[in-house]
Amino acid sequence: MPRLLPLLLKISLPLIVIDQITKWWVVLNMKQPYSIVAEYPYTRVSVPFNGKYWLDSSEVDLIPVIDGFFNISRVHNQGVAFGFGNGSAWAPVVFLIVPFIALTVVSILWKKGVFVGIAKWSAPLLVAGVIGNLIDRLTQGFFLKGYENESFWTRLSEGYVVDFLDFYIPVVNYRWPSFNVADSCICIAATLLFLSAFRAEEPNKEA
């Protein structure tokens, strides 16, 4: 069983750096979104779209990359995949604790030899994804405009994940929930874990 630390340094660390560079480019170059929909509690999101809170194009900078298919936008997400928990009072606290639990579980499972075959690559990808988004939750709330005079805990609780990769699928008229590099790492890791479940069992040499 290979050691986890070398994989973290070779795979996780570069991906975390790329994740943070891309997110900070978005934060520093695109305006902070605000909602004009008063009935939604999360003040920096607009109307919900296909089950997720989506920013209206009039409320956020939108950079078309492939017209009608792929855009760069700035989305604040306090929830998780597909915006689950976004705008709730419990999300900032729960999703600040969960990453630490996830990292602990990955470490334990690695020592138990769960990550074998192609699944061994999922561990550093999971770590990169979890840490990348955890950094956002710990820091982004302190750079929000309008919160400069709030308390430390208020600004910490306002932490959010920066999503910016925005895809629209015209064939089915569906806008895929926006995501980032860290999210991609987690999805790829999950796919590798899923595929590893179908690997052929190694022959029992003792038998």
The pair phi, psi for residue 116, each rounded to 5°, is -125, 160
Is residue 191 within a helix (H) or strand (E), and if so which, with residue range?
helix 181-196
Is residue 136 within a helix (H) or strand (E), and if so which, with residue range?
helix 122-139
Q: Which conformational region is residue 42 in: left (phi greater than 0), alpha (psi within -120 to 50 degrees), or beta?
A: beta
Q: Please say if 183 is a catalytic residue.
A: yes
Q: Please say if 163 is a catalytic residue.
A: yes
Paired tokens of 178? 């926006």
The residues of the chain scoring below 70 in pLDDT are 1-2, 34-61, 79-93, 95, 199-207
Total residues found in the chain within this entry: 207
- Stated pTM of the model: 0.78
> Are the C-beta atoms of residues 164 and 73 closer than 8 Å to each other?
yes
Torsion angle of the four alpha carbons 10, 106, 125, 161, in this order, in degrees rounded to the nearest 10? -120
Instruction: Say how far apart CA 12 and CA 128 lie, in whole Å.
Output: 5
Residue among 19, 136, 166, 183 flagged as catalytic:
183
pLDDT of residue 174: 85
Nearest one of 181, 198, 189, 176 to 54, comparing CA atoms:
176
Instruction: Say how far apart CA 48 and CA 135 lie, in whole Å.
Output: 26
> Are the C-beta atoms of residues 86 and 41 closer than 8 Å to each other?
no
Is residue 165 within a helix (H) or strand (E), and if so which, with residue range?
strand 161-169
Sign of the Cα pseudo-torsion (182, 183, 186, 191, in order): negative
Instruction: Say how far apart CA 76 and CA 147 lie, in whole Å.
Output: 15
pLDDT of residue 80: 58
Instruction: Say how far apart CA 139 and CA 47 lie, in whole Å.
Output: 25
Q: pLDDT (tens digit, 9 = 90+) per residue, 48-99? A: 333 334 444 445 568 899 988 999 998 888 765 555 545 555 556 676 787 8
Paired tokens of 57? 């194009």
Residue among 19, 136, 163, 166 flagged as catalytic:
163
